[in-house]
Amino acid sequence: MCGIVGYVGRRDCTDVLVSALTKLEYRGYDSAGIAVFENGKIAVAKTKGRLSDLTAKMEREGKPKGHAGIGHTRWATHGEPSDVNSHPHSGRRVTIVHNGIIENYKQLKQFLIENERDEFLSDTDTEVVAQLLDFYYDGNPIRCIRKVLHELRGSFALGIVFADRPETVYAVRCESPLIVGQGQGEVFIASDVPAIIKYTKDYYLLEQGEIAVLKNGAVQFCSLHGRMLEKELHTADWDEDSAEKGGYPHYMLKEIHEQPVSVKTTITPRIEDGLPDLSECGITPETLGKFQNIFIVACGTAMHAGMVGKYVIEKLARVSVTVDIASEFRYRDPLLTTNDLVIIISQSGETADSKAVLTLAKKTGAKTLAIVNVKGSSIAREADMVIYTHAGPEIAVASTKAYMVQLSVMYLLAFEMAYAKGRIDRDECRRLTSELVKMPEVIESTINSVVDMCQFVSTKLITADSLLYIGRGLDYALSMEGSLKLKEISYIHSESYAAGELKHGTISLITDGMPVIAVATQNSLLEKTVSNIKEVKARGAMTIVICDEEADIDPEAADYMIRVPKLAELLMPMVATVPMQLLAYYTSVNKGNDVDKPRNLAKSVTVE
């Protein structure tokens, strides 16, 4: 995810900006840049690559010198990583850095072109905002910013400098996080506390639609309506290491809480006029309509996302989908044709087994689609088509937000394919897409509503030697991920089974007090799932049921119930995933394990 910083004070601004951006490197980025007031003008330095590349460039070409400016690390969403697409971006009199997504940038760009503002150098939505600010600028920065904010749609934060307002930095927040740090005679803006904690622990939280003006080592705030504001000054009690975790005790918990933003950042650029639009990824309805069979190949958590994708694609698009473990796919001599699509899901884009499948698929003439999180990774470069999941970096080994954004991509793909195949009409496709658009808010409310119950239930799991996850349909696909998440960080033996298979042998494992976690979010299958829950309960199991808030379940069947918001059955995986993540997390914490770095595991598996 992008990182924004800004500074006004007595120090060397370039040094402060680069140092602050270094503390945001954990968020992930593919380019970096700064803009500094130097001798009454705005000097810009930016480049594709790492901060070390930016520093080397400034050593060669000259380092901007001044005491006020803005900086940025970019994770590309609009336009490929390049020097030109790097931030900052400028109009004639305005230079900005930007975090987030401008949903209506195409319409705004067309408006500017029609009004003879066609000086666009980049492919970014950010430059459109810079040009729009410049278009409306009448010498009053606050009035200009307010006017532009009323026209922008999306989730974003901006750092802004005006050429005729030297030594002054403006900042605004609309959903994307932004803080203002207050030091001794100096002020900062930053996307996160780690960027500034070296200089100050005192900071203000910008709220939705609030504008900050940094000048002469102090800051003033005003609302979107122009009213001056008094804000509470907070003091961080973190050290630099904990600051990078945003105050959370572990990266995994932080990344669970980042899921709403990650999903929004992933799906928003791929929706146009209320419908999925994957054309930027090389995918068109015409292309999707031709595929006769789909193979989804992945490892671990990514494979479980593919299992959900299989259920959704087959139900909506009526296309046959096979899900395979990448390490096994090659060895069964798969039947691939030129009319088939092979989807390879990988967080890192470097998974060795998945790369081998890509090579095999391309040799057969099948089309290949990569769903990856890392720009420029091997799988992304070699696939015919690529959808980037804009989750930002995932540092904890146990995947959470990467899985959630993979799910969101599978839904977009399923909706567009079903529409392309004529299985759903435009109105139904738009309805389904609108439900997905609401998901970030629903995920956030789910995290808040289930966290206490998950903490409590986790205390009942820590003494277990073994447990089962069960479910039917989509719930079975979910139970596979829940089981993996628990065992990889809690070290408790856990297996997932299709609930209907219990009596074909597995039920013999049930002993008195053994935990069985039942995922029961599919109301059309609820009666059968409850019957299976009662079967294990009758044999002494401690039953934990994850269900929607309206599910009618016999209280005697469940020792503990974790209820999530009720959605359409098809979309329930997006919320039912949350309590499974939290159960795994708190169980591991209660056992005293290293949550972020479980034993024997690595984040990216680059060997077969």
Q: Residue 128 in contact with residue 102, Cβ under 8 Å?
A: yes
Residues 278 and 270: beta-carbon distance below 8 Å: yes
State the angle between helix axes of 300-317 and 401-420 in degrees (0 to 180), rounded to the nearest 10: 20
Q: Are 16 and 34 in contact (CB under 8 A)?
A: no
Are residues 168 and 161 in contact, defined by beta-carbon separation less than 8 angstroms?
A: yes
Q: What is the pLDDT of residue 24?
A: 82
pLDDT at 188: 98
Residue 539's pLDDT is 87
What span, in angstroms and rounded, lies between the C-alpha atoms of 210 and 222?
Answer: 6
Q: Which domains does the chain have, with CATH numbers?
A: 3-244 (3.60.20.10), 249-437 (3.40.50.10490), 447-599 (3.40.50.10490)
Sign of the Cα torsion 475, 480, 481, 482 reads positive
Residue indicated by tokens 């932004």: 178
Residue 438: predicted pLDDT:
96
The three-point CA angle 152-154-158 to 5° equals: 70
Closest CA to 475 of 432, 427, 533, 434: 533
Share above pLDDT 70 across residues of the chain, in percent, rounded to a whole number: 97
The two structure tokens encoding residue 233: 């000054």
Res 52: pLDDT: 92
The C-alpha atoms of residue 596 and residue 397 are separated, in whole angstroms, by 6
Helix (H, G, I), strand (E, B) or coil at 450: helix
Contact 71, 32 (CB under 8 A): yes
Structure tokens, 268: 């928003």
What pLDDT score does 607 carry?
Answer: 39
Pairwise CA distance, residues 300 & 303, whole Å: 5
At 273, list the tokens: 């006029």
Q: Which residues pair with 544 in a beta bridge?
A: 517, 560
Angstrom distance (rounded) from CA 65 to CA 474 = 58
Cis peptide preceding 440, ω within 30 of 0? no
Question: What contacts 258, CB < 8 A, 6 or more positions away?
Answer: 391, 392, 401
For residue 410, give Cα distances in angstroms to 183, 304, 342, 570: 46, 11, 13, 12
| DSSP codes, 163-203 | TTSTTEEEEEEEBS--EEEE-SS-EEEESSGGGTTTT-SEE
Determine contact, residues 128/122, Cβ cutoff 8 Å: no
- The C-alpha R_g of the chain, in whole angstroms, comes to 25
Q: How far apart are CA 116 and CA 344, in angstroms?
A: 44
Catalytic positions: 2, 603
DSSP tally for the chain: helices H, then strands E: 19, 27
Six-digit token pair at 532?
């299976």
- The count of other CB atoms within 10 Å of the CB of residue 229 is 13
Binned average pLDDT, 10 residues per bin, the chain of 608 residues: 89 96 78 94 93 94 95 82 88 92 91 86 91 95 95 91 96 88 96 88 90 96 91 80 77 94 92 92 87 92 96 96 90 86 89 86 91 81 90 85 96 95 95 96 97 96 94 95 96 91 82 92 91 88 94 90 95 97 97 88 50
Question: What are the backbone dihedrals phi and psi of residue 111, each rounded to the nearest 5 degrees, phi first?
Answer: -60, -45
Q: How confident is the model at residue 608, as a pLDDT?
A: 47
The count of other CB atoms within 10 Å of the CB of residue 508 is 9
Q: CA-to-CA distance for 129 and 175, rounded, in angstroms?
A: 16
Characterize 314-352 residue by residue with b for buried, 16 or more Cβ atoms within 10 angstroms of its Cβ, and e for exposed: eebbebebbbbebbebbeeebebeeebbbbbbbbbbbbb
Query: Could you tell me which of 561, 261, 578, 548 has the C-alpha nearest to residue 448?
Result: 578
What are the tens digits of pLDDT across the range 202-249? 999 898 899 999 999 999 999 988 899 999 998 886 666 666 777 789
The reported pLDDT for the residue numbered 606 is 38
Nearest-angstrom CA–CA distance, 506 and 494: 13
User: What is the structure's pLDDT at 602?
Assistant: 55
Q: What is the pLDDT of residue 240?
A: 67
Please answer whether residues 471 and 520 qualify as being in contact, where contact means their C-beta atoms are separated by less than 8 angstroms: yes
The C-alpha atoms of residue 229 and residue 213 are separated, in whole angstroms, by: 11
